[in-house]
Structure 1
Amino acid sequence: MELWKRNLMVCWFGMFVTGIGMSQIAPILPLYIKHLGVGNTNSITQLSGIAFGITYVISAIFSPIWGQAADRYGRKPMLLRASLGMAIIVGLMGFAPNVYVLIGLRLLQGAITGYSTACTTLIATQTEEAHAGYALGTLSTANIAGSLLGPTIGGFISDYVGFKSVFFITGTLLFIAFITTLFFVKESFNPKDKKALSIKEVWNSVPEKGLTITMFVTFLILTVALYTVEPIITVYISELSKNTTHIALLAGITFSASGLANIIAAPRLGKLSDKIGAHKVILVALIAAGIIFIPQAFVKNPWQLMILRFLFGLTAAGLIPSVNILVKKMTPSSLTGRVFGFTTAAGYLGAFAGAVLGGQIAAWFSFKYVFFITSALLFINAVLVYFKVYKKLNLN
């Protein structure tokens, strides 16, 4: 088996598990915060957004740092550091005595992360141009599917085993990712080939600055769209559902509908990006995603919401791999890790902004406005991509 294919398999598993580790808390978070002593509904919603989002804003700060470290010292050491660190921290969340300790551990989790940045860089630099769309599309399914299937796993475990078991089981899976990475990921890396460049020097070496910034913005808005619903889904499902015995599980399935769609569609849309151009796929996917968000505000039961979340997952599957393909093509190979670090940072900022924004909009206005505002952001991004990316690349 070719080296990039073997590493792709191992990285897929590792990114899937770390995605679960980042997101499994989503459907149980309001319930867990209530269990830890918070009684007011508005306080639970707001604290859920902060506890969920704090991991991502800290990750945004550290992702470029870990990206630079990956370019200097190798991608495999970064994979080992992130997977082992997350295994320990997620396991400790099961022992949190109050919501503030939980938020502190979520903050530490953000600081230690970096698995997806190192994996994306490793696969992007090892894969030949003709297969880049397929490889990065397949890899993107791991991250987003882990992030969106994680809530179902968390909801199922919490319903049948208990809140604390979610963290213990996820920590064990992360440790397994550490072991598989240690023994099966192979990398030929010579640190002498890499210079320690400042952020300014890295940016000056990027040839297509305007397009790169647009890709950062697109990645940020996409993750805002993915995560605005994170802090509200459980409460929204409880309002929609007449059966209140399995709220966490129903919320988890609703989250995971997007992840399932992503697994199905992302490799295919990655190949399509290789054939017709990633810029075309991005534009169509943004418009479709903006449309699909609107009817989510008017659903009458959880199953309607699940179907719409599945359709949204199909559109999201065309965005992440296409953004990565364009970033890879625009970036010199010596800077790939650092530029992907900035891309990942934009995604983490979007996840934080989305989680906090969704929680605050729901608390101050209503659930419907979460979907309307997210739809508007996607349409604005589509306009930006049309003028800054689509028209420019279509002329070339």
Structure 2
Amino acid sequence: MPIWKRNLYVCWFGLFVSSIGMSQIAPVLPLYIQHLGIHSSASIAQFSGLAFGITYIISAIFSPVWGKAADKYGRKPMLLRASLGMAIVIFSMGFASNVYVLLGLRLLQGIITGYGTACTALIATQTDKQHAGWALGTLSTASISGSLLGPTIGGFIGENVGLPDVFYITGALLLVSFLTTALFVKESFTRQDKKILSFKEIWPTIPEKSLTIVMLVTFFVLSLALYSIEPIMTVYVSQISQNSNHIALIAGITFSVSGLANIIAAPRLGKLSDKIGAQKVILAALVVAGVIFIPQAFVTHPWQLIGLRFLFGLAAAGLMPSVNVLIKKVTPDALTGRVFGFAMSAGYLGVFGGAVLGGQVAAHLGTRYVFFSTSALLLLNAVWVYFTVYKKLSRSAGKLPS
């Protein structure tokens, strides 16, 4: 087996587990905060929102920092640092004595993260051009599916095993990821003794600045679309459900089914982007995803919503690998870690922004308008991509400066 493919499979497992670690806390958070001694409904809601959001905000800040470190010291050391650090921190959450210790550990988790940035940079720089789309598409399934399946996995463990065990099991899996990374990931990295330039200093050296900006924004919009319905999912399912039993379970399935679709479609669409051009896949995926959001506002039964969310997951699966392929093409290898670090920051901000957008739109306009507003953002992004990326690459036959 080629080294890059073995590294891909190891990174996939680690990124899947780390994404679960980031997201699995969502459904058990209010219960765990209550378990830690907070009993006021208002206080539980306040601490839950803070504990969930703080990790993503801090991760957005530190992802470029770890991306820079990956360019300087190598990607494997960053994988080992992130997996071991997150294993210890998440395992420790099961021993939290009060809500403030939990908040501190969630903040520390945001600082330590960087596994996804290092994984993407490692695979992007090791994989040959012919397999880049497939490899990055496969890797993207780990991040999205782990994030979307995490709440369901966390809820299942919390309900059937115990709340602290959610953190113990996730921490143990991350420790396994650390060990497999240490044993099986191989990287030939030559450290550069010269000074590592700041992003402000290296920005002029990036050949396609406008395309890079469009791809970062697209990454943000995709993450926002994936998570805009999270705060309203349970409420929306209860509104359209004819049976009040198992609302939480149905809501978890509805949210996570997009992750299943992503696992199925992302490698295939990544391979398709290698053949026909990543810009074509991105444009088509944005349009289809934007259109699919509209009928979700008119469903009358949860299973209709689940079917549409599955179709959305199939469309969204074409975005992340294609975005990564274009970023790889226009970014020099020496800067890959930092640029992918900014892409990961855009994704984390999208997760946080999606949760905020969904909650605020639902509160002021109504639940169904969350789907309309998200659809509008995806379609506007598609128009921007068409004029700034698709037409430009079509005129140049998809060729970009290396």
1:163-190 deviations in whole A, cap 9, x for unaligned?
2222221111111111111111111112
Matches within 5 A, 1:46-57: 48-57=48-57
Q: Number of residues paired by the alignment? A: 395
Alignment of 1:320 onto 2:308: no
Alignment of 1:148 onto 2:145: no
- Corresponding residue for residue 333 of structure 1: 333
Q: CA deviation at 1:260?
A: 0.6
Q: CA deviation at 1:49?
A: 4.2
Alignment of 1:231 onto 2:231: yes
What one-letter code is carried by the residue in structure 2 that aligns with 1:103?
L
- Corresponding residue for residue 376 of structure 1: 376
Matches within 5 A, 1:15-94: 15-33=15-33, 37=38, 39-40=40-41, 48-94=48-94
- Give the CA RMSD over aligned residues: 2.0
Taking a change above 3 Å as real, the CA distance of residues 247 and 144 of structure 1, as seen in their structure-2 partners, is same
Q: Residue 159 of structure 1 contacts residue 249 of structure 1 at CA under 8 Å; is this kept in 2?
A: no
Q: CA deviation at 1:106?
A: 2.1
CA distance in 1, matches of 2:31, 2:374: 25
Aligned with 1:186: secondary structure? coil
- Corresponding residue for residue 346 of structure 1: 346
CA distance in 2, matches of 1:304, 1:94: 37
Structure 1: give runs of 5+ residues left out of the alignment: none
Q: Residue 48 of structure 1 contacts residue 359 of structure 1 at CA under 8 Å; is this kept in 2?
A: no
What one-letter code is carried by the residue in structure 2 that aligns with 1:8?
L
Aligned with 1:207: secondary structure? coil
1:320-343 deviations in whole A, cap 9, x for unaligned?
000000000001111111111111
Alignment of 1:7 onto 2:7: yes
- Corresponding residue for residue 394 of structure 2: 394
What one-letter code is carried by the residue in structure 2 that aligns with 1:214?
V
CA distance in 2, matches of 1:236, 1:28: 19
Taking a change above 3 Å as real, the CA distance of residues 298 and 27 of structure 1, as seen in their structure-2 partners, is farther
Structure 2: give runs of 5+ residues left out of the alignment: 397-402
1:9-56 deviations in whole A, cap 9, x for unaligned?
100111111111111122333444555535447x76665444322211
Aligned with 2:231: secondary structure? coil
Q: Residue 225 of structure 1 contacts residue 354 of structure 1 at CA under 8 Å; is this kept in 2?
A: yes
Q: Larger deviation: 258-267 or 79-88?
A: 79-88
1:310-358 deviations in whole A, cap 9, x for unaligned?
1111011000000000000001111111111111111111111112222
CA distance in 1, matches of 2:359, 2:257: 21
Aligned with 2:192: secondary structure? helix
CA distance in 2, matches of 1:161, 1:65: 37
Q: Residue 266 of structure 1 contacts residue 318 of structure 1 at CA under 8 Å; is this kept in 2?
A: yes
TM-score by length of 2: 0.92
Taking a change above 3 Å as real, the CA distance of residues 193 and 314 of structure 1, as seen in their structure-2 partners, is farther
TM-score by length of 1: 0.94
1:93-142 deviations in whole A, cap 9, x for unaligned?
33445555433332221111000100000011111111111111111111
The alignment-based identity, stated in percent, is 72
Aligned with 2:357: secondary structure? helix
CA distance in 2, matches of 1:100, 1:241: 37
CA distance in 2, matches of 1:85, 1:57: 18
Aligned with 1:192: secondary structure? coil
CA distance in 1, matches of 2:366, 2:213: 33
Q: Larger deviation: 104-113 or 2-11?
A: 104-113
Aligned with 1:232: secondary structure? helix
Matches within 5 A, 1:229-378: 229-241=229-241, 246-378=246-378
Aligned with 1:189: secondary structure? coil
Q: Residue 50 of structure 1 contacts residue 355 of structure 1 at CA under 8 Å; is this kept in 2?
A: no
